[in-house]
Amino acid sequence: MRTVNEVSKLTGVSIRTLQYYDKIGLLIPAMRTDAGYRLYDDTALERLQQILLFRELEFPLSDIRAMLEAPDFDRKKALTQQVELLTLKKQRLEAIIEAACELIDKGDIIMGFKAFDTKTIEEYKARAKAEWGTTKEYAEYAEKTGDRSAEDEKNTANDLMKVFAEFGALREHPADSPDVQSQVKKLQRFITDNYYNCSDDMLMSLGNMYSADDEFKQNIDSAGGAGTADLVTRAISAYISSK
């Protein structure tokens, strides 16, 4: 775990910015000390890297949060897109430098303006952003969360973690026990009410992801204790199989 001061020194991101990211629900610390100090784990740092890359590409914070929280977000795919976008920016800057040097060498000559054209970059950014908005679940997610304040969004995320914490209290119970199965229904209702229609197929996909994806697993286990994510996955599987 790293303190907010340590993360600031490591990444060059100011403490005030890290505090703001927490306030708007973009980068929530893994935990807080009894005194209320923020602590960040490796999962939080990985998310911060994604945020910084998207910021370097001038994506608005609201778009970054939506993309990172999209149900089908793929970190590796996003990184590939980011590299391609950064390469386009590099090529554009090199063209501008070359044009400026040419102006110095040749004197007062009107240069071409093609180097300053950002159309290609903007078109690619639009396509990259669209990658995470093609599912009906994402569209519903965007509609349901669009009018929420940052504080509302953070409270909703905290309430979701409380649902996983309740799973954690049931870790000694069989995955197909009535109490655990009731909790699965509660999770499905919560996602439907607050994010998007959580069909049985979507619930099953989420269940597989909760234990397979390191970031999800760490967050869920942080809320409910070690083994919670695995219980949720098994409980969802039992729930779907019983239908």
Residues of the chain within CATH 1.10.490.50 domain(s) are 136-243
Average pLDDT over every residue of 213-220: 79
| pLDDT value at 236 more than 90 | yes
Judging by beta carbons within 10 Å of its beta carbon (0-12, 13-18, 19+), is residue 143 exposed, middle or buried?
exposed
Q: What length is written for the chain?
A: 243
Fold of 1-55: Multidrug-efflux Transporter Regulator; Chain: A; Domain 2 (1.10.1660)
Mean pLDDT of the chain: 81
- Cα distances from 178 to residues 208, 226, 227, in angstroms, run 21, 21, 19
Please give the structure tokens belonging to residue 30: 């893994």
- The model's pLDDT over 113-168, given as tens digits with 9 standing for 90+, comes to 554 455 555 555 555 555 555 556 666 766 777 677 777 878 888 899 999 999 99
Residue 204: pLDDT over 60: yes
Per-residue pLDDT tens digits for 9-21 = 998 889 988 998 8
pLDDT at 133: 52
Which CATH architecture fits 136-243?
A: Orthogonal Bundle (1.10)
What average pLDDT does range 232-236 have in this prediction? 95
What's the token pair of residue 147?
A: 């009018």
DSSP state of 193: H
* Chain centroid to CA 131: 14
pLDDT class for 53, splitting at 50, 70, 90?
A: confident
- Name the pTM for this structure: 0.49
Q: Is it the case that residue 92 has pLDDT exceeding 90?
A: no
d(CA 87, CA 79): 12
**DSSP 8-state secondary structure symbol assigned to residue 112:** P
The confidence score (pLDDT) of residue 213 equals 67
- CATH 1.10.1660.10 residue ranges for the chain: 1-55
pLDDT band at 197 (very low <50, low <70, confident <90, very high): confident
Give the per-residue pLDDT at 227. 94
With 90 as the cut, is the pLDDT of residue 177 above it? yes
